[in-house]
Amino acid sequence: MSTETKTENKSKSKTLSPKYWITVGAEVIHRDFPQVKMYVDRIVKQTKLVKSGEGSKPVMFILGVDCHWIDGTGNFKQGRFLTMELLPWDQNERRRILEYQENNLNTAGKEVKRNKESGL
């Protein structure tokens, strides 16, 4: 296998498997507000030179994700969020978050059996 083939295969694998799960146009929800479906407009990135033993190399950081959504009154809203605040729009994940917010699930996602008399 020549070096050209190795580099060609390496670049193909980078394009087939993106480093980040979030992409422009993706449907997402906010962890705290899973009722609202948002769309990714832009990923705000910054490249910095990081010093290493051999010199400095460019490293890309995601500063935030610009999203838009329509609120309950029909108004167009925009905002910038951190990637850890957003989740993919998945019905199962959304349902789990809503149940967790209603105190039916613990942080591990398992159902909590509560004693109705004691309130626990």
Q: What is the pLDDT of residues 79-92, one digit of tens each?
A: 999 988 998 887 66
Q: Which residue has the tokens 């799960």?
A: 21
> Has residue 26 been placed in a domain?
yes
**Based on the domain organization, do 66 and 108 belong to the same domain?**
no
| Same domain? 25 vs 42 | yes
In order of 89, 92, 94, 95, 99, the CA distances from 33 in angstroms are: 12, 15, 10, 12, 12
Query: Same domain for 83 and 107?
Result: no
Residue 112 has pLDDT above 80, yes or no: no
Residue 8 falls inside a structural domain: no
Do 26 and 36 share a structural domain?
Answer: yes
For the question of whether the overall pTM of this predicted structure is more than 0.75, the answer is no
Instruction: Mark whether 66 and 40 lie in a shared domain.
Output: yes
Asked if the structure places residue 73 within a domain, the reply is yes
Query: 83 and 35, same structural domain?
Result: yes
Question: Is residue 25 domain-shared with residue 76, that is, in the same domain?
Answer: yes
- What is the per-residue pLDDT across 29-60, written as a single tens digit (0 to 9) for each? 888 888 889 999 999 999 999 888 888 888 88
56 contacts 47 by C-beta, under 8 angstroms: no
Residue 93 CB contacts under 8 Å (≥ 6 apart), including other chains: 29, 87
Indicate whether 25 and 47 sit together in one domain: yes
In a domain, 44, yes or no: yes
Q: Total domain count for the chain?
A: 2
Task: State which residues form the domain around 37.
Answer: 21-51+59-89
* 25 lies in the same domain as 64: yes
Per-residue pLDDT at 120 = 46
Do 29 and 83 belong to one domain? Answer: yes
Residues 73, 94 share a domain: no
The pLDDT of residue 54 is 82
Residue 32 to residue 12: CA distance in whole angstroms? 37
